[in-house]
Amino acid sequence: MPSIFSRIVSGELPAHKVAEDADHLAFLDITPLVEGHTLVIPKKEVDYIFDMTPQALAALHVFAQRVAKGVQAAVPCRRIGVAVIGLEVPHAHIHLIPMNKVGDMNFANPKITVPAERMQELAAAIAAQVPGGSGLPAPAAASAARTTAAPAADPNDATLTQLQKLTEGLVFSSEAEAPLEAVSYAAPTGDLSDAQLLQALGEPAGANVEKVELTQFLRNQTADSGKSGDVSIANRYKALQLYMKQELDGAQVYRIGEGTQVHAYALGRDVAGRLAGFKTVLTET
């Protein structure tokens, strides 16, 4: 009897797909540990992952790496955890789990329930961020929306490259520490409504949006005696702030969502009209 994953591959069962190529498929776990929990499988049914040929195993991990980059770009987190259990479904698969602490990877944790609408939003957001394209057909509405968006990201984009250098190794201290990640998003030109902003960022429609001035947001990080207590770190934050104010038009911070963890995006328009800057996670209890 085909495994449940083989039935997804064949189209017999539905799934929230995020990436696909000729030999592999990635889709959201319907009983996730956290939002964005993704499964990566070979389309060919193999019960035990280490029964795969070396070539097939290597190709699966290369595909998983591409998907993991998309998950991390769409779901703010410190790392993407990787796990292979091998007992749940008789079909080789890799778990990719957004994590901010080691406990997020504990499979003894209660599984969460994510509404179908949110699962669709997450799948679309991840698929849009998979490097090299997801291999999934774009919905008609999404394709239409992209006709008014800025040009696709250039992998050699100088702005994003500089932001990556400026944010490398930096963490934002709130009630917990979270890394900064350089980002660049296509978005419609002109002033963005909250709905357009959320769509561009892959955030849930209707989520709360709060705008904060960049200097105000970074005030504790740039203070020499502030959160880090390290002058060199404060100076790096000052350099990042200066770059964003000088090189990005209208740079400001968008706090997205409510509750104990809020997604924060510091963004401005680059010369290509894209939204560029960094994102992080704020912990506030």
What is 148-283's CATH number? 3.40.1460.10
Residues of the chain with CATH 3.40.1460.10: 148-283
Q: Give the contacts of 73 (CB within 8 A, at least 6 positions apart).
A: 126, 129, 181, 183
**pTM (predicted TM-score):** 0.52
pLDDT surpassing 50 at residue 51: yes
Residues of the chain with CATH 3.30.428.10: 4-137
Query: What pLDDT shows up at residue 199?
Result: 87
Q: List C-alpha distances in Å: 170 to 89, 165, 251, 278.
A: 39, 10, 19, 11
CA–centroid distance for 167 within its chain: 16
Q: 50-59, 89-98, 138-147, 271-280: lowest mean pLDDT where?
A: 138-147
**Tokens 């960022």 -> residue:** 201
What percent of the chain shows pLDDT beyond 70? 89
> What whole-number distance in Å separates Cα of residue 21 and Cα of residue 262?
34
- Residue 285: DSSP 8-state: -
Query: What pLDDT shows up at residue 153?
Result: 47
Q: What is the 3-state secondary structure (H, E, C) of 257-277?
A: CCCCEEEEEEEEECCCCCEEE
On whether the 4-137 domain is CATH 3.30.428.10, my answer is yes
> What whole-number distance in Å separates Cα of residue 5 and Cα of residue 172?
39
pLDDT surpassing 70 at residue 138: no
Do residues 249 and 272 make contact, with C-beta atoms less than 8 angstroms apart? no
Query: What pLDDT shows up at residue 223?
Result: 87
The tens digit of pLDDT for each residue in 239-276 reads 999 999 999 999 999 999 888 889 999 999 998 888 99
DSSP H or E segment with residue 235: helix 231-247
> What whole-number distance in Å separates Cα of residue 74 and Cα of residue 233?
26
Do residues 20 and 106 make contact, with C-beta atoms less than 8 angstroms apart? no
pLDDT surpassing 50 at residue 125: yes
Q: 105-109, 228-232, 241-245: lowest mean pLDDT where?
A: 228-232
> What whole-number distance in Å separates Cα of residue 39 and Cα of residue 13?
15
- Pairing between β-strand 17-20 and β-strand 24-28 as defined by DSSP bridges: antiparallel
What percent of the chain shows pLDDT beyond 90? 56
The set of catalytic residues is: 93
Q: How confident is the model at residue 151 (pLDDT cuts 50, 70, 90)?
A: very low
